[in-house]
Structure 1
């Protein structure tokens, strides 16, 4: 007589709690990046990706990529790590040139870009709701930049804003690649992060003068970035999407820019201004509108 195994029942509250953990950890990423300003940006990226790879090991499973075409194999093992490097390093470098809150909000427009890219690749056209959502989200970012534009006082911040937007494009492309790939990228995430870490280490040795690890607060902040926003958050988000309702779980992510802006103000990194919460709300509403 064979034993009877009862199915595992996962409470809907589990997926919501897991999603909230991921959202909270992603929200503290700009604050941790500010604490790690003393570290060279590429070194910080490599440290973060290494810690993230070790933390996401529970997601690792055997996936056969050899059955895919050569183009998809190159996209998975080279394209994906390059997008991760581009997203994380552009974000860290951009925050060195531009104010943290503004750079973070520009980066958090990536869900809108992902929706637009996904629709265009699937149907060859864009829906009006998605375009309207993109306009709302980018109006939030424009609201923060408007005073500097009127006064002509951008200075070097333009480079920071451009790099933040580049990070948003990289995250959007990474998400689209994960959706379009013939195999799931989640079980490959630890290995992809290690490949990205190796690429960043090589770039750091070539482009940065210092080869030593960051010290003190910068070292702890870099490890925390890998363990939290790029580690535990990835695992929690994977569980939330697997066991929960995708529409409900996905909508929780749009609270990240609001919570991130609030944490930056409470920590004294950003000065409170009515434009900051308004812009964060516009970005969140725009992302939600586009996804619907």
Structure 2
């Protein structure tokens, strides 16, 4: 599957502004997830995806999916909803099992994975700079785990870190499909989010029992997650990918872990530690190196 670029000519400033909107909204996601900590993660995921579908509903319109190959139709209508469910639910669960700021930082290594996927799909090989950047970025994530590993293991946090990495892989694949797809995902996003919401509801009933609507602060946080980070931000990111340069757009996402960690510290939901800014800096440097 090769990337297909739109013939529409749009100012590069549009893609940059759209990417910045997505980055800003993604940065507040960890804070909102912490506010909804008392809600079961799959129930929170379903609420978030439903709110995201409603937020993007005005953008819904018919798309010529029938002109796509069977492989692409399966990728769009099944693969992308599964990636959305995997990304959002893994992120939410990971932040329950591991410290929020560290889990968020690991999840936001996804831009470097996206760059590697883009290069491989376009040229069939990886550039050394990209591999070196990936190693630098993941060394930042390793700094967060090293003290716990040396003291006898990461314990229960290991599952949280693993799920955060799984969320990163899902977001990288989602972004790559959004860039490579022969049609824009924006007009399909409300339906894709509804499909993902339905899949999550089934999983929630099966694994968590009865579905109950969150209340109070958790309800507001869940709706805000859907409207912002998983609604408007996803539309903005899709537009940025379709009409911008992949490396430039991807590089703007590298500031998300720093902004997210800063907001958590300022809100008193995470303790400032020298490892956190050091790891965030390594992730950003590594992603910039890979993006070049």
TM-score scaled to structure 2, two decimals?
A: 0.90
- Cα distance in 1, alignment partners of residues 237 and 174 from structure 2: 16
Aligned to 2:139: 139
Unaligned segments of structure 1, at least 5 residues: 1-8
CA RMSD in angstroms comes to 2.1
Aligned to 1:70: 70
In structure 2, the CA distance between the partners of 1:118 and 1:34, relative to structure 1 (3 Å rule), is same
- Cα distance in 2, alignment partners of residues 244 and 72 from structure 1: 22
Aligned to 1:55: 55
Q: Report the CA distance between 1:100 and its aligned residue.
A: 0.4
| Aligned pairs, number | 284
Q: Report the CA distance between 1:11 and its aligned residue.
A: 8.0
**Higher alpha-carbon deviation: 160-169 or 54-63:** 54-63
Q: Report the CA distance between 1:227 and its aligned residue.
A: 0.8
Q: Report the CA distance between 1:115 and its aligned residue.
A: 1.5
Q: Report the CA distance between 1:248 and its aligned residue.
A: 4.8
- Cα distance in 1, alignment partners of residues 71 and 238 from structure 2: 26
Maintained 8 Å contact 2:179/2:242 = no
In structure 2, the CA distance between the partners of 1:93 and 1:188, relative to structure 1 (3 Å rule), is same
In structure 2, the CA distance between the partners of 1:291 and 1:229, relative to structure 1 (3 Å rule), is same
Maintained 8 Å contact 2:48/2:226 = yes
SS in 1 for 2:62: coil
Aligned to 1:6: none
- Cα distance in 1, alignment partners of residues 234 and 256 from structure 2: 14
Maintained 8 Å contact 2:178/2:184 = yes
Maintained 8 Å contact 2:178/2:238 = no
Name the larger-Rg structure: 1
Aligned to 2:282: 282
In structure 2, the CA distance between the partners of 1:243 and 1:260, relative to structure 1 (3 Å rule), is same
Q: Report the CA distance between 1:18 and its aligned residue.
A: 4.2
Q: Residue 212 in 1 paired to residue 221 in 2?
A: no
Maintained 8 Å contact 2:45/2:197 = yes
Q: Report the CA distance between 1:174 and its aligned residue.
A: 1.1
Maintained 8 Å contact 2:178/2:241 = no
- Cα distance in 2, alignment partners of residues 211 and 242 from structure 1: 37
- Cα distance in 2, alignment partners of residues 253 and 287 from structure 1: 9
- Cα distance in 2, alignment partners of residues 286 and 49 from structure 1: 31
Q: Which residues in structure 2 correspond to 1:42-191 (within 5 Å)? A: 42-191=42-191
Q: Report the CA distance between 1:179 and its aligned residue.
A: 2.2
SS in 1 for 2:278: helix
Aligned to 1:197: 197
**Higher alpha-carbon deviation: 55-64 or 191-200:** 55-64
**Higher alpha-carbon deviation: 280-289 or 88-97:** 280-289
Q: Which residues in structure 2 correspond to 1:26-37 (within 5 Å)? A: 26-37=26-37
Q: Report the CA distance between 1:10 and its aligned residue.
A: 8.5
Q: Residue 255 in 1 paired to residue 278 in 2?
A: no
Maintained 8 Å contact 2:94/2:164 = yes
- Cα distance in 2, alignment partners of residues 13 and 167 from structure 1: 29
Unaligned segments of structure 2, at least 5 residues: 1-8
In structure 2, the CA distance between the partners of 1:171 and 1:93, relative to structure 1 (3 Å rule), is same
Maintained 8 Å contact 1:262/1:277 = no
Tell me the alpha carbon deviations over residues 205-234 of structure 1, each in whole angstroms, 9 at most, x when there is no partner. 111123111111111111110011111223
In structure 2, the CA distance between the partners of 1:97 and 1:251, relative to structure 1 (3 Å rule), is same
TM-score scaled to structure 1, two decimals?
A: 0.90
SS in 2 for 1:269: coil
Tell me the alpha carbon deviations over residues 7-63 of structure 1, each in whole angstroms, 9 at most, x when there is no partner. xx9987665554433211100101111111111111100100011111122432321
